[in-house]
Amino acid sequence: MKTQELINSVTKLIQMNVVPLIVGSPGIGKTQIIEGIAKELEWQYEIVIPSMMNPTDLSGLPFRVNDKQADFLPYGLSYRILNATDNLLIVIDDLIQSTPLMQAALMQLIEARIVGGKRIPDCVRFVSLTNSASHGAGGTKILEPLKGRTCIIQLDVDPKQWIKWGIESGRIEKEILFYIQTYPESLVDFAVCKDIANTPSPRNWERLSKLLSNGLTNTELFEGCIGGKEATRFASFLLTITNLKGVIPQILKDPYNAPLFNQNDELDKVYALGLALAHNANKENISNIYTYLNRMGGEALEFILATIIQFHPELKETETYANYICV
């Protein structure tokens, strides 16, 4: 299920008090998506890592009430759950890494909605996140009865939606957004590897974005985030951007005669050029930029102009933009 469809579905499941179990490869943003849903619903949320817990963390500690009776005293997570008065979303993360005993304890929590023999308030809801056994995340299986208490959803990342998120959140550098637009298959290329090496994922691209924003452009550091093959291609993409800087003055000065690039054979140059234009756009030159992009046409026109507006929202007030959206 693509990201936006998953967000819509999980939001409804949470409100219906049905527990979703979201499955996806490492680093594709499962936790961030749920955090976003909680914030959109204006719910409090708490991320729980069951692999770092014991079953007694849920049931509470036994204590003597009197000579004839004992009970469980909730503490930590169980105390917060039982005493919740506002909407609270409990996010059970990295589920497959937890022990079978811990998974068994979670069954009572999410299905019977009981902690240490006490009923969980209706304002508390649950969602589970996990990798699969094939992702090399340190887990082997999830108990069948526990899976049977959830609605299992497979998450597939949509590069276009991720780019849109990257623009709107401001968390991803322009170079990476244009690179993924050019090579969408590079957003996620997960593979289990015996070597100590990373592969491309949304989380690793975000880490690489932090390097770029701090002026770190060493290819070996790129490799440490996204692996050697992708790092080499990304470094080449950045070099293409540098080499195209001479074309920018031509576009801004004479957009009718500036050189065009073939969108079929030179797509990397097209989007590298778009990145350079996004860096240089302002109210004085947006008309010439649009004239050039209009000559180019196709998907590049839509993406590059939309990206320029996202990075420079003040350009929405220009006559050029008003004419563009009316076309």
pLDDT tens, the chain, 327 aa long:
898 899 999 999 999 999 999 998 888 889 989 999 999 999 999 999 998 888 888 887 777 778 778 777 888 888 999 999 999 999 999 898 888 899 888 988 888 898 878 899 999 999 999 987 665 555 668 889 899 999 999 999 889 889 888 888 888 998 898 889 888 999 998 776 677 888 899 999 999 999 999 999 899 999 999 999 999 999 988 888 787 778 889 999 999 998 888 777 777 788 778 878 887 888 889 899 889 888 888 777 777 887 788 778 888 888 887 776 654
User: Which residues sit opposite 61 in a β-bridge?
Assistant: 73
**Residue 43 in tokens:** 């719910």
pLDDT, tens digit, 9 for 90 and up, residues 282-324: 888 989 988 988 888 877 777 788 778 877 888 888 888 777 6
3 state SS of 152: strand
Cα separation of 265 and 118, whole Å? 65
* pLDDT per position as a tens digit, 134-161: 655 556 688 898 999 999 999 998 898 8
Q: With a threshold of 0.85, does the pTM exceed it?
A: no
pLDDT of residue 139: 61
Q: How many CB atoms lie within 10 A of CB 288?
A: 18
Task: Name residues whose C-beta falls within 8 Å of residue 72's C-beta, 6 or more positions apart in sequence.
Answer: 59, 60, 61, 62, 63, 116, 117, 118
What is d(CA 18, CA 127) in angstroms, rounded to the nearest whole number?
9
Instruction: Give the Å distances, CA to CA, from 8 to 14, 127, 162, 163, 256.
Output: 10, 14, 16, 19, 45
Residue 138: its pLDDT value, please?
56
**HSE, side-chain direction, 13 A CA sphere, residue 69:** 5
Domains annotated for the chain, with CATH where assigned, are 3-154 (3.40.50.300), 159-325 (no CATH)
In a 3-state reduction of DSSP, which class is residue 45? Answer: strand
| Structural contact between residues 230 and 200, judged by C-beta atoms closer than 8 angstroms | yes
- CB count within 10 Å of CB 16 equals 10
Distance CA 263, CA 179 (A): 14
Strands 151-154 and 20-23: parallel
